[in-house]
Amino acid sequence: FVGLLVGLFQTVTQLQEQTLPFGVKLLCVSICFFLMSGWYGEKLYSFGIEMLNLAFARG
């Protein structure tokens, strides 16, 4: 969706800079990673604990 908006903006303004779409996409992905980091960290932590419990339970 972000790429489509940037492409539309470049078409309307006739801007031919190739680094603009990459920079905008990189910024959006970074923001998404930041916003989801708490949830993802919690899931990763609980998965690790569960795997360690299974490993130690089997001896």
Question: Quick one: pLDDT at residue 4?
Answer: 79
Per cent of the chain over pLDDT 90 is 46
Residue 59 has pLDDT above 70, yes or no: no
Q: Across the chain, what does the average pLDDT equal?
A: 87
Is the predicted pLDDT of residue 17 greater than 80, yes or no? Answer: no
When pLDDT is averaged across residues 25-49 and rounded to a whole number, the result is 94
Q: Above 90 in pLDDT, residue 32? A: yes
Extents of the domains making up the chain: 2-58
Instruction: Tell me the three-class secondary structure of 1-59, residue by residue.
Output: CHHHHHHHHHHHHCCCCCHHHHHHHHHHHHHHHHHHHHHHHHHHHHHHHHHHHHHHHHC
